[in-house]
């Protein structure tokens, strides 16, 4: 195989061994080209799908990067210009990303920056705003103060300290009695799923339920397709989920995102100005009652 040419300095890149994967590294500038999945493997500071989360909010990047635009070095991409994306959508670490092959180019030091930044992020914890039982189910509301919360694949909450700008995200969780399925993750952010599918990032774990309307509305990932299809073979459950957008739930003023994971259903809304709250027991938006009903359907 012909070596890749470094997108930065055009030198032939070397195949080098990182602990458990092989990547392309430039001997001159130290830049690294990573195929889909390899960035996740190299990031040590945090578990979860860092690539997915970084691609989750492309419109946040404003084009300011100290590095020039780069072209993808993969032969099949024919010099396709890479895009700039922010690590986890809110960050100073900016990667080059190819939307054809799903690869990333990291300048020297960017991987170390990434790990440092992620370590800082995980230190910022949410506080528990509400924790109680509604219709017998554990319900929790977390307020992430001074933070922008990214709700990501794997259910990873990623609060990011914003400095001067105080902001709160509301995150409502309704728990199952028992975990449902291995590594289940269902998300209402379907536009992102289509995009990730188109570049091959979701191929491994994307599960089609076999009902066109449902598959068009949700991304479903997980380790046990049989079990997951069985759960969503229930028409009443699918109908309830399909009504999520139509119901236009608002704890405050912005539409939020819905996720279903092994242990809980999560609804995330915001960021809002500091001090934003929601009365879980009165539930004026009806979202808590709806999620409790959904949880019961999922377990029946
Ligand atoms: Zn180079
Ligand atoms: Zn490419």
Q: What is d(CA 72, CA 112) in angstroms, rounded to the nearest whole number?
A: 22
Residues 233 and 146 in one domain: yes
Residues 64 and 160 in one domain: no
Residues 252 and 172 in one domain: yes
CA of 9 to the centre of ligand 1 (A): 4
Q: Which of 61, 88, 121 is the last residue of a domain?
A: 121
* Range scoring the smallest mean pLDDT among 21-30, 37-46, 192-201: 192-201
Q: What is d(CA 192, CA 213) in angstroms, rounded to the nearest whole number?
A: 17
| 3-state SS class at 117 | helix
Residues 168 and 69 in one domain: no
Size of the chain, expressed as the number of residues it contains: 300
Residues 82 and 108 in one domain: yes
CA of 73 to the centre of ligand 2 (A): 7
- Please check whether residue 68 lies inside any domain of the structure: yes
- pLDDT tens figures, 150-175: 333 233 333 333 333 445 778 888 98
Residues 27 and 163 in one domain: no
Better-scored residue on pLDDT, 244 or 201: 244
Better-scored residue on pLDDT, 263 or 291: 291
Report whether pLDDT(207) > 70: yes
Instruction: Identify the pLDDT of residue 24.
Output: 96
* Range scoring the smallest mean pLDDT among 117-121, 197-201, 295-299: 197-201
Residue identified by tokens 């705003």 is 129
Report whether pLDDT(127) > 70: no
**Looking at the 3D structure of the chain, how many domains does it have?**
2
- Please check whether residue 2 lies inside any domain of the structure: no
Confidence of residue 147 (pLDDT cuts 50, 70, 90): very low
First to last CA, the chain: 53
- Please check whether residue 9 lies inside any domain of the structure: no
- Please check whether residue 133 lies inside any domain of the structure: yes
Confidence of residue 109 (pLDDT cuts 50, 70, 90): confident
Q: What is d(CA 155, CA 145) in angstroms, rounded to the nearest whole number?
A: 18
User: 276 lies in which domain range?
Assistant: 126-299
Residues 114 and 141 in one domain: no
Q: Which of 101, 121, 141 is the last residue of a domain?
A: 121
Q: How far is CA 178 from CA 24, 60, 234, in A?
A: 43, 37, 18
Residues 117 and 131 in one domain: no
Residues 178 and 287 in one domain: yes
Q: Which two tokens stand for residue 183?
A: 């590594």
- Which ligand has its closest atom nearest to the C-alpha of 81? 2
- pLDDT tens figures, 176-195: 887 776 667 787 765 555 55
- Please check whether residue 8 lies inside any domain of the structure: no
* Upper half-sphere CA count for residue 156 (Cβ side, 13 Å): 19
| 3-state SS class at 295 | helix
Instruction: Identify the pLDDT of residue 132.
Output: 80
Q: What is the 3-state secondary structure (H, E, C) of 147-164?
A: EECCECHHHCECCEECCC
Q: Which of 89, 121, 153 is the last residue of a domain?
A: 121
- Please check whether residue 3 lies inside any domain of the structure: no
Q: Which two tokens stand for residue 275?
A: 């001090």
Residues 270 and 139 in one domain: yes
Report whether pLDDT(55) > 90: no
Instruction: Identify the pLDDT of residue 281.
Output: 93
Residues 142 and 266 in one domain: yes
- Please check whether residue 290 lies inside any domain of the structure: yes
Residues 144 and 106 in one domain: no
CA of 123 to the centre of ligand 2 (A): 34
Closest of 152, 128, 150 to residue 141, by C-alpha: 128
CA of 15 to the centre of ligand 1 (A): 13
* Upper half-sphere CA count for residue 59 (Cβ side, 13 Å): 2
- pLDDT tens figures, 75-84: 999 899 998 8
Which residues have C-beta under 5 Å from ligand 2, the single-atom ion?
A: 72, 74, 77, 98, 100-101, 103
The set of residues, in sequence order, having a beta carbon less than 8 Å from that of 67 and lying 6+ positions away, is 8, 94, 96, 107
Better-scored residue on pLDDT, 256 or 126: 256
């Amino acid at each position: 195989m012909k070596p890749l040419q470094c997108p930065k300095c055009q030198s032939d890149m070397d195949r080098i061994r990182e602990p458990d994967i092989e990547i392309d590294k430039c001997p001159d500038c130290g830049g690294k080209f990573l195929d889909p999945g390899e960035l996740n493997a190299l990031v040590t500071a945090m578990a979860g799908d860092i690539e997915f989360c970084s691609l989750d909010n492309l419109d946040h990047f404003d084009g300011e990067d100290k590095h020039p635009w780069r072209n993808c070095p993969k032969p099949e991409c024919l010099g396709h210009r890479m895009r700039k994306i922010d690590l986890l959508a809110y960050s100073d670490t900016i990667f080059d990303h190819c939307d054809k092959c799903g690869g990333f180019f990291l300048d020297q030091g960017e991987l170390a920056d990434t790990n440092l930044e992620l370590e800082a992020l995980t230190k910022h914890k949410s506080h528990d705003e509400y924790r109680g039982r509604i219709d017998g189910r554990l319900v929790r509301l977390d307020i992430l103060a001074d933070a922008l919360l990214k709700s990501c694949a794997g259910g990873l909450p990623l609060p990011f300290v914003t400095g001067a700008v105080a902001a709160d995200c509301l995150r409502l969780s309704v728990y199952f009695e028992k975990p449902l399925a291995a590594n289940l993750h269902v998300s209402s952010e379907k536009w992102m799923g289509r995009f990730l599918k188109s570049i091959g990032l979701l191929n491994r774990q994307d599960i089609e339920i076999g009902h066109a309307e449902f598959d068009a509305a949700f991304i479903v990932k997980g380790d046990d397709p049989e079990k997951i299809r069985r759960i969503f073979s229930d028409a009443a459950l699918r109908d309830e989920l399909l009504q999520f957008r139509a119901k236009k739930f608002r704890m405050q003023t912005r539409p939020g995102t819905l996720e279903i994971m092994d242990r809980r259903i999560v609804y995330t809304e915001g960021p809002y100005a500091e001090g934003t709250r929601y009365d879980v027991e009165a539930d004026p938006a009806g979202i808590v009652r709806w999620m409790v009903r959904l949880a019961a359907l999922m377990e029946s």
